[in-house]
Chain A
Amino acid sequence: MKSITRQKPFEEIAQQLQGFSRVFIAGCGTCATLTHTGGVEEVAAMKEQLQSQDKLITGTVVIPTACDDITTALAEEYGSAIQSAHAVLVMACALGVHRMGQNVTKPVVPALDTLFIGMDDGHGVFHEVCAQCGQCVLGEMAGICPITACHKGLLNGPCGGTNNGKCEVDKEKDCAWTLIYNRLKEQGRLDAMRKYQPPKNYQVVPRPRIIKVF
């Protein structure tokens, strides 16, 4: 599981940092490093870019796992550099931004947009395979999630926009229901596709979602 991020346009970052002339930058050594959005190199590049905009960088750190409580320890370790900054720019997913926000009193600014939870295909392409809907249907869908892989999240088969196995929204994207059909057919389980799927329960865990595990 990886939190997939994309760097915001620099203009937006600059706009959010308006009025903050001293900035501390924090990256993440896990997901944002894998996606080349908040690793050592990206943090260094951001430092340079902000310096060229006349910002003073009070310090930088790449937290091994920014969503974890390591952030608490590192916020303490880098306390004086953070204290002397006007804001902390976080180059991690929104979980990292939250974690940083819990540990510092300074304004926290995200440098990245968090897009989805993705799976790596081994060639630098990340696919969204789970929408975390709270009610897994993979068992009846040959292991392909239509909530996620179908643009419309349809549960009872393809729409009329399916075209030669591709989606009407993007000819490069596969029609989830063609994939499900093909795999169910291979498995001799087309009956699963004939089964009526009732309307989805969107309140499995009402938002905001909180679960107490221990």
Chain B
Amino acid sequence: MPSKFKEALDSGKFVITSEIGPPKGTNLEKMYHHIDLLKDRVDAINVTDHQSSVMRFPSVGGCLAIKERGGEPILQMTCRDRNRLALQAELLFAYTRGITNVLCLTGDAVPVGDHKEAKGVFDLDSVQLLRMIRTLESGKDLGGNELDGAVEFCAGAIVTPEANPIEPQLIKFEKKVEAGAEFFQTQAIYDLEKFARFMKFARQFPVKILAGIVLLSSARMAQYMNENVPGIFVPQHLIDELASAPKGTALQKGIEIAGRMIATLKKEDICDGVHIMAIGREEVVPDILQIAGI
């Protein structure tokens, strides 16, 4: 049976996803609050998997909480912390709990996180993880053994349309499509013309593309991302726009920019939907959607 998210993707509507980051610790109140804010406003909610290699409550636990509260989860799964046995086991568990959307990621490097001396696993990469899901669906595990009860997932991946050089990214994008990716959530995009060029390439493939929207909270944050976050480029005119906002209203300006971009992407039918990443400011996602007219 296709997941609710898969049905949304196939319906042809403009799909909206957002994401939450589980807490560092066992106090789940804030995460519950974010889930409740988002669950009826978006088609699915991603749960990050030790995002930026910072140890947190597990992604699968966040997905269970979304299910319990009536939402539709997307399990983010990275290859950084689990070998192929652990990845498969977690997928079997997720499936039995009704978590049937998976975003396959390589995962950030260990040294960028808060356990810098840990061993990075990377037994598989994101392409191999996608293929592994399709293997599990065929009723076999990666060792070629029969499963007593198979799985069915809507599997997706990510792509960085602003990467430089771009061609290696596009080659990997194609490999992910061939490996069975059904949808892509992109790294943050800000230059819509450039993104439209990427979409011209992506439209050749039978996959749904959700444009990554990262909320800008200030001109300084935008500059910081330009200098430090690979594959993100905020054009100067947006930085100027944020800087020109009266004191204390930069976040509001960022919400406006995000809402405006989403409205344009939808109106001009540039892609199949958006993935909104508010990074700690999940409570403003409904405001972004309101400005976008969604």
Which A positions have Cβ atoms within 8 angstroms of B? Answer: 151-165, 168-169, 177-178, 181, 185, 190, 193-194, 196-200, 202
Contacts and interface: CB of A to CB of B under 8 A. Distances in A.
Interface in B120-143: 120, 122-128, 131-132, 142
Contact of B168 (A151, A164, A181): A181
Contacts of A154: 106, 122, 125
Given A152-B106, A168-B109, A181 B167 contact: yes
A108 B202 CA distance: 61
B109 A151 contact: yes
Contacts of A164: 164
A154 B176 CA distance: 14
A161 B122 CA distance: 14
A196 B127 contact: yes
A151 to B, nearest CB: 5
**Which of A157, A161, A163 has the most chain B CB atoms inside 10 A of its CB?**
A157
Contacts of A151: 109, 120
Contacts of A190: 171
B231 interface: yes
B111 interface: yes
Contact of B230 (A157, A162, A177, A198): A162
B231 A163 contact: yes
12 contacts: A152-B109, A154-B125, A157-B127, A159-B126, A160-B187, A162-B169, A181-B168, A190-B171, A194-B175, A198-B128, A199-B132, A199-B142
Contacts of A161: 108-109, 230
Given A151-B109, A165-B165, A169-B112, A160 B158 contact: yes
A169 B167 CA distance: 21
Given A157-B172, A200-B123, 6 more contacts: A152-B122, A156-B126, A165-B164, A181-B168, A181-B171, A202-B123
A117 B174 CA distance: 35
A19 B132 CA distance: 55
B178 A196 contact: yes
A194 B163 contact: no
A160 B230 contact: yes
